[in-house]
A and B are shown apart, each in its own frame.
Chain A
């Protein structure tokens, strides 16, 4: 695999602590355009924190993040905490990086359709009619266009997560982050969400997926990264890492998550 072109996302020596707890202890990761990376790890390994740092929902203590070659400028603020130099830059980058949350986080006061067009209309300032047409196409694609005028609370978990994916897609993102998108779902609803994610992977989108779904990691992703205690323990194509893991901890993780 070549990384001659600019990576879609590039993370260099990322560090983050919460109080005395060191969650990320120097993580580096490059994702090429079109790659689908599954990020595995037991709870507390730092995988969600890493994802949240990429979208600046958490500000890293040290390290560098570049999205499509644009480095997010950070500085030491008061009290020694890092903070973004330019909030405008953060907002601009966020509007190109979409995030899908474990708990969906649909805006409860807006209907499904309103959720999907909210950011395109108000953040990207695109014409409303155009956004609605696109949103309906996206909702059709994720299979819930008939629910477009429903409020999130009236949808099943799987439908809510598919709506959240449509909301993410509506931003026409260069990079999609999935933070355990199926962990809050009842087992029978997991499949419908995974099917949507698989179709996104197949059309060549760049995706970073924190997940516990070993099937997805094995069959859909182009690369698997295993985090343990805030460092990358294993990194490679699923065919290699699953058949001959180099890290004993990853071997144990696989055997526990069969």
Chain B
């Protein structure tokens, strides 16, 4: 059976299952990325304006999450999360084992990791701001919230786009590790297909092509967004 008939969309083919699994990959990566954006902006804010203790804690968070294998973090959330949930359930009665869903553990793990990277992206983007433009905002009497909304946030976002693009690519690739929880995303689906057809190369190759398509389209998207956001900046 050729790889094309193997991956066809008919009743005999695996195409539909693979595309659906690619959708799961995208969803878990996107959820993780969004969780990471919330965490990342909070941590960046602490790094920029927190007290000594808070800043130290924020720095420690980034250092630790960037120094530990992603796989360990996923194990922590999947197995550790189940252990915590089970013991909480035990408080309310003779529960048994309560499992965390692979999707939730994966999104949380990607979120925590991605948050560490995103905090650095946001912090860097903030320091790239032109101080003079902030002074100009003060000089026309903008209060802090208005200045943040109208001047700082749009510019931070603009400078952050390339960095966020890189972090999104990381999140996409991390999502492949979530397959260890049994979540049927692209890699897990390929393993299932490989097992039942004994054509592992065809399946992992198809997975690689789909990942490549996703990363290529997203880097194109981020480049478009950057061009749009940088329309007011002179090209060197």
Q: Quick one: given A91-B143, A122-B146, are A105 and B135 in contact (CB under 8 Å)?
A: yes
A153 touches B233 (CB 8 A): yes
A110, CB-defined interface residue at 8 Å = yes
- Interface hits, B113-136 → A, CB 8 Å: 130, 132-133, 135-136
A154, B139: Cβ atoms closer than 8 Å:
no
Interface size grouping (class) on chain A: 35 or more
In the bound assembly, the distance between CA atoms of A206 and B141 in angstroms comes to 19
Residues of the B chain whose Cβ atoms lie less than 8 Å from the Cβ of A106? 133, 136
Chain A residues within an 8 Å CB radius of B234: 153-154
Distance between B146 CB and nearest chain A CB, rounded to angstroms? 6
Q: Residue-by-residue, is A114-142 near B (CB-CB < 8 Å gives 1, otherwise 0)?
A: 00001100110000000000000000000
Closest to A52 in B: B135
Q: How far is the CA of A96 from the CA of B141 in the complex (A)?
A: 8
Question: Which residues of chain B come closer than 8 Å to A216, judged between CB atoms?
Answer: none
How many B residues touch A, CB cutoff 8 Å? 24
User: What's the Cα separation between A103 and B132 when bound, in Å?
Assistant: 7
Please state if B137 and A107 are interface contacts (CB–CB under 8 Å). yes
- Give which listed residue, B130, B140, B143, B155, contacts A171 with CB less than 8 A: B140
A48 to B: closest C-beta gap in Å: 12
A122–B146 CA distance with the chains assembled, in angstroms? 8
CB-based contact A107/B146 at 8 Å: no
B173 contacts A by Cβ under 8 Å: no
Among B135, B139, B144, the residue within 8 A (CB) of A98 is B139
A108 part of interface (Cβ distance < 8 Å)? yes
Does B154 have its Cβ within 8 Å of any Cβ on chain A?
yes
Q: Which residue of B lies closest to A108 (CB)?
A: B232
Q: How many A-B residue pairs have CB under 8 A?
A: 85
Within 8 A of B (CB), among A70-96: 87-88, 90-96
- Of all chain B residues, the one with the shortest Cβ separation from A97 is B139
B136 near A101 with CB under 8 A, answer yes
- For the complex, give the distance between the alpha carbons of A109 and B141 in Å: 19
A111 contacts the other chain (Cβ, under 8 Å)? yes
Residues of B within 8 A of A122 (CB): 142, 146, 150
Q: Give the complex CA separation of A153 and B158 in angstroms.
A: 15
Q: Are A107 and B141 in contact (CB under 8 A)?
A: no
The answer to the question of B224 belonging to the interface, with a C-beta cut-off of 8 Å to chain A, is no
Interface 0/1 of A133-170, CB less than 8 Å to B = 00000000000000000011110000000001001000
The answer to whether the Cβ of A11 comes within 8 Å of any Cβ in the partner chain is no
Name the B residues within 8 Å of A91 (CB-CB).
141-143
**Chain A residue at smallest Cβ distance from B231:** A151
Interface presence of B214 (CB below 8 A): no
**A151 and B142 contact, CB distance less than 8 A:** no
- A94 to B231 Cα, complex, angstroms: 30
CB pair B139–A99 under 8 Å, yes or no, is yes
B138 within 8 A of A: yes
How many angstroms between the C-alpha atoms of A96 and B140 in the bound complex?
8
A101-B132, A103-B132, A151-B233 as given contacts; A94 in contact with B140, CB under 8 Å = yes
Q: Which 4 A-B pairs have the closest CB atoms?
A: A95-B141, A151-B232, A105-B132, A94-B141
- Provide 12 A-B residue pairs closer than 8 Å at the C-beta atoms, listed in order of the A residue: A87-B143, A91-B143, A95-B141, A97-B139, A99-B140, A101-B132, A101-B139, A104-B132, A111-B232, A122-B150, A154-B232, A154-B234
15 new A-B contacts, CB < 8 A, other than A90-B141, A107-B151, are A87-B143, A94-B141, A95-B141, A97-B139, A99-B140, A101-B136, A105-B130, A109-B229, A118-B140, A119-B142, A122-B150, A123-B140, A123-B146, A151-B231, A153-B233
On B, residues with C-beta under 8 Å from A are 130, 132-133, 135-144, 146, 150-151, 154-155, 158, 229, 231-234
Interface residues of A (CB under 8 A from B): 55-57, 87-88, 90-99, 101, 103-111, 118-119, 122-123, 151-154, 164, 167, 171
